[in-house]
Amino acid sequence: MIWVRYERAADRSAVFNINARAFGGPNEARLVEALRESARPQISLVAQSEGRVTGHIFFSPVTVGSGARTWEAIGLAPMAVEPEWQKQGIGSALVRAGLAACRGIHRPVVFVLGHPEYYPRFGFRPAPPLGLRFRGPEFDPAFMVAELEPGVLGRRTGEVRYLPDFDRFE
């Protein structure tokens, strides 16, 4: 059974290790540590299976547009599952619970830079055709957006900017 809950201070070591193992190095784990300090609002959830933390997902603010036409949304990154626990529904449970938490804090637009085969099942669709971009066209195939309230995007467009911490841990 998979249980998803908010991360606690006691989970931090397990979350670091999960991110480091899932991504093959410490950058995403260090990113999470930095985001805990800088991101407001933030959503940090863990999945538990058989009494241990087996997955983690983090959401942090993004800014879209520029100047007077700037608006706020939230970005999903990173999401990690222990390698030996992958393909058992943990990632899906984390994404669903995370999107519900985004609704709960009134963040109805969520961006992700991720696998284009995976995220559409949760309501994500390509962002560039909607006039929403991340850095350059090389990111277009993997850059997606989900509207948690139908029509909330309206005609909003612009470049999506993640917190500076993301640039430090690329």
Mean pLDDT value of segment 4-21: 98
39-95 per-position pLDDT tens digit: 999 999 999 999 999 999 999 999 999 778 899 999 999 999 999 999 999 999 999
107-146 per-position pLDDT tens digit: 999 999 999 999 999 999 999 999 999 988 999 999 999 9
Residue 90 near residue 49, CB atoms below 8 Å: yes
Q: How many of the other CB atoms lie within 10 Å of CB of 14?
A: 18
Calculate the dihedral angle through the C-alpha atoms of 31, 33, 39, 42, rounding to the nearest 10 degrees: 100
Q: Does the domain formed by 2-168 have CATH 3.40.630.30?
A: yes
The yes-or-no verdict on residue 28 having pLDDT over 80 is yes
Residue for token pair 């100047």: 67
Query: Three-state SS across the chain?
Result: CEEEEECCHHHHHHHHHHHHHHHCCCHHHHHHHHHHHHCCCCEEEEEEECCEEEEEEEEEEEEECCHHHCEEEEEEEEEEECHHHCCCCHHHHHHHHHHHHHHHCCCCEEEEECCCCCHHHHCCEECHHHCEECCCHHHHHHEEEEECCCCCCCCCCEEEEECCHHHHCC
